[in-house]
């Protein structure tokens, strides 16, 4: 990629758009952004690359030799935005492994692991109160950014801090311990949000932000630049440092993993 010029990239994109019959990008004053069709094309491209990776790198002998049942517990955020790709990979690599998946809160996952109800858990590992009790493997680290309506005045600002959000209506997601995490962040910067609405519905939050009813801060893992109604959401980085959303797969140190569970951990760890 070091020898690829900007003009050649532009030409390649233009040719691809001509082939597809629709625009992938829209030019803005601050750069390029994906259109709704462009985002859909990107998701399909990721799926194709994942399938290609499986076709090239799958070890079929290993896949056919491992069997058993693995009980996996995940939080609702993981279930909605990470689990499908991981589950698909596990089924492709290890068709004889039976994966039993349960949605639970992070405390519920911890309790289930130590009571023998679950073999593995995936959750926000940064929220584990006693991380020394677990073996962990990182899954992903997702930056948290500010979400704004496309016509919000702050969209044109290069530097945005918590002080700039004073008086802005704030829409707070309450799923998967996000509220507790943001309370800690707000306290660190002395920020008191003007809460307009608290919701467990990601789509309600996206719609309200896109309509200009308020702003929010969420991780890139759950970011989509369009609401269900087709209104645009802009993501902006804050100059105040916010910790990433770190997720991982974990299990008690006192519980050695069986072969099937170790295979599942490897698959989960490899999904991006």
Domain 61-142+246-270 has CATH 2.40.50.140: no
Mean pLDDT across 92-106 = 94
Distance CA 145, CA 155 (A): 13
Q: Is the pLDDT of residue 50 over 80?
A: no
pLDDT band for position 1 (50/70/90)?
Answer: very low
Which stretch of 28-37, 102-111, 218-227, 248-257 has the lowest confidence by average pLDDT? 28-37
pLDDT of residue 54 exceeding 70:
no
What pLDDT does 38 receive?
A: 75
Which pLDDT value is given to residue 146? 97
Question: For 3-23, how does the pLDDT look when each residue is reduced to its tens digit (9 = 90+)?
Answer: 556 677 788 888 888 777 788
Give pLDDT, residue 42.
Answer: 75
Q: Which residue has the higher pLDDT, 216 or 34?
A: 216
Asked if the model's pLDDT at residue 228 lies above 80, the reply is: yes
Nearest to 250 by CA among 148, 154, 76, 129: 129
Architecture of domain 144-243: 3-Layer(aba) Sandwich (3.40)
**CA Rg, the chain, in Å?**
21
Q: Which residues contact 94 (CB under 8 A, 6 or more apart)?
A: 62, 63, 66, 67, 260, 263, 264, 267
Per the DSSP assignment, residues forming a β-bridge with 165 are none
CA distance 231 to 207: 8
In the chain, where the domains are located: 7-50, 61-142+246-270, 144-243
d(CA 198, CA 12): 44
Average pLDDT, the chain: 87
Give the span between the Cα atoms of 245 and 142, in whole angstroms. Answer: 5
DSSP class of residue 257 equals P
CA separation for the pair 250, 131 (Å, rounded):
9
Which pLDDT belongs to residue 47? 61
What pTM does this model have?
0.75
Percent of the chain with pLDDT over 90: 62
pLDDT of residue 128: 86
What's the rounded mean pLDDT across residues 63-92? 89
* Same fold for the pair 61-142+246-270 and 144-243: yes
Comparing 130 with 164, the larger pLDDT belongs to 164
143-166: average pLDDT: 95
- Assess whether pLDDT exceeds 70 at residue 53: no
Average pLDDT over residues 121-146: 91
Q: Residues 112-142, buried b or exposed e (16+ Cβ, 10 A)?
A: bbeeeebbbbbbbbebbeeeeebbbeebbbb
């Amino acid at each position: 990629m070091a020898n690829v010029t900007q003009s050649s990239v532009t030409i390649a994109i233009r040719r691809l758009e001509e082939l597809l019959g629709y625009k992938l990008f829209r030019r803005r004053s601050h750069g390029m952004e994906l259109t709704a069709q462009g985002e859909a094309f990107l998701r399909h491209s990721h799926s194709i690359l994942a399938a290609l990776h499986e076709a090239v790198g799958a070890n079929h002998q290993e896949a056919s030799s491992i069997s058993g049942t693995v009980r996996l517990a995940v939080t609702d955020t993981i279930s909605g935005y990470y689990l499908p790709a991981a589950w698909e990979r596990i089924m492709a690599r290890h068709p004889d492994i039976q994966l039993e998946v349960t949605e639970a809160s992070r405390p519920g996952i911890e309790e289930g692991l130590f009571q023998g109800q679950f073999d593995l858990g995936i959750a926000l590992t940064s929220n584990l109160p006693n991380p020394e009790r677990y073996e962990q493997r990182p899954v992903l680290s997702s930056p948290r950014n500010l979400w704004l309506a496309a016509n919000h005045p702050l969209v044109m600002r290069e530097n945005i801090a918590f002080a700039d959000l004073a008086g802005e209506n704030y829409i707070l997601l309450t799923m998967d311990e996000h509220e507790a995490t943001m309370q800690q962040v707000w306290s660190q910067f002395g920020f008191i949000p003007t809460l307009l609405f608290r919701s467990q519905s990601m789509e309600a939050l996206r719609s309200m932000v896109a309509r200009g009813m308020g702003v929010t801060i969420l991780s890139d893992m759950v970011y989509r630049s369009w609401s269900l109604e087709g209104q645009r959401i802009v993501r902006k980085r804050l100059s105040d440092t916010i910790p990433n959303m770190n997720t991982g797969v974990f299990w008690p140190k006192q519980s050695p993993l069986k072969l099937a569970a170790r295979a599942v951990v490897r698959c989960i760890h490899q999904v991006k």
